[in-house]
Structure 1
Amino acid sequence: MTADPHDLPRRRALSSLRGLALGDALGSQFFVPAHYPALQGRTLPPGTWQWTDDTEMACSVVAVLDSHGTIDQDALAASFAAHHDFDRGYGPGVNRMLRLIRQEGADWRTLAAEMFNGQGSWGNGAAMRVAPLGAWYAGEPEKAAEQAELSAYTTHQHREAVVGAMAVAAAAALAADPAGPGAPADLVTRVVALLPRSAVHAGLRRAVDMLDYDDVATVAAVLGNGRRTSAHDTVPFALWSAARGLGDYEGAFWTTARAGGDVDTTCAIVGGIIAAGAGGEPPRAWQERCEPLPEWLPGR
């Protein structure tokens, strides 16, 4: 019997995806200030934690990699549209775009390019879903960044959004490297070296200089915490937290969530990167509280 060449990449991507989904679902429980006391006390919320659009879109990324072995942009846009659930918390622009693709057969290229008066979206949506792609290309950060760029363009065509996705994918590829990710500063520095000049690039350079800071509030004040939902207000902080938290999913989650802002997205990015690496599996009791991945996802 011929071995499946996608078996190991698939398993790595699914591990990252489960970490992403848990970070997204649990992070979304702390999205409003009224829940901050529980956050500061590291008190887990009751019930089953439901994931958001971050996870739903990440599932499509993994499904396309599983079926094509690479990012096929048309297949990815079609999957986004086919599985789009309005109630998962999508932004209005992406809601409209995916509805038009599904119901009217509109071209994703035109719709994505037209967003924000032709500038394209610079939101964090392309970055929030892409860590499993990086895990798929474990140890190949250049390849991961290249494929992340393709995946971003299906919905986000602004330079910052694209570079943000490239950064997250490269970080996950390094975290998943069988040879080890290296020291936190090495990981972030290697990511920076792969990126074109941009606000995300500049933010990550600042993140390298702040890796020895323990005051999360100060770091978030400098790097951002996703409150503006832009890639450059989200990705530098998320990679700062992920690089410091490799091998410690629980600790990385609480550190990330304490910064506030777009908590489900920052925790999804960090969770996906951490779970891609050795020793980064989330606590089993937490996983049991998270909504299962959708039935349409291969290998879930």
Structure 2
Amino acid sequence: MEYSRIEKILASAFVLFLLLASINFLSELNNAIERPDFRDYESKYVSKELLENRSRLLVMFKHFRNLHEEAKTNLTKANELYIFKREEYRVALESGNAAEEIKNEYLRAKEEYEKAYLAFQVIERAYVDIEKQLNSVNQQIDQLREKAYQEYRNAYSAYRAKVLALKLIFVIPIFLASFLIFRRYKNIYAVSLIAYSSLLFAYLIVQAVWNTFQVIGLSLFGAVATVLALYYIRKEYFKLEKVYKRRIGQNRCYICGFPIKDDYLVCPNCEAKLREKCEKCGEMKPVHLEFCPYCGTSLAE
């Protein structure tokens, strides 16, 4: 049955609107079941006291890191001044001009350097100790969070399975009903329902594959779909009978594709038989045709 262009457009719009509504409904089903929250599992394994201890150590670590940098800077400056005054005092001694003021400046620089060095050592020991404690607590929290994540992942897999089951309960009856309707009413409306239910089912499959395997799964799904499509095209478009008819229509040998003329009986390239006598009218007709072009006799008769 032929349909007008406007009917086809309206049928396409019908499919599109149904798909949009159904996909929106499928999205709403994600909230029909309570989604697991990782924070609930984290609080089950990681205690509040442990997190507070880490926060306290983190504040202390930042404070002592600043003190460590400051003490390191002060030590560097004190060391440079001490070396300069020591060399100045040594040169004065060698030249015999070692005034008391130069000696006192050297001794003060040495004393300041020793104080800066002791202060740096104290702060560095405290800084390293705080860092070790913080690393130990972080490692403990990471181990506990890994346990929490494993339990959360199992719960989330169960959640996705339940949601998928709900979606299948919605999609499969529509898919089956559309085929039953199509078997009974082979019109444009039944075809539209088939297209809608098939696209909806394909969308659900692709979404499930993506949620489960993501890029790898989608790649495998695409590869399988491509192989099936190539097989179908190969089967339908490159069947020997269709290849033969296509080559005959292009005035080429149906076996090797060599250019031929209408009155050739045998291919000059591969010696394949090109024409045969019609059993009804006796005319020499091309081989592999469904009907004789001269009398219309079916080859199947």
Q: Same-fold call, TM > 0.5?
A: no
**TM-score normalised by structure 2 residue count:** 0.18
Higher relative contact order (CA 8 A, sep 6+): 1
Structure having the higher helix fraction is 2
**TM-score normalised by structure 1 residue count:** 0.18
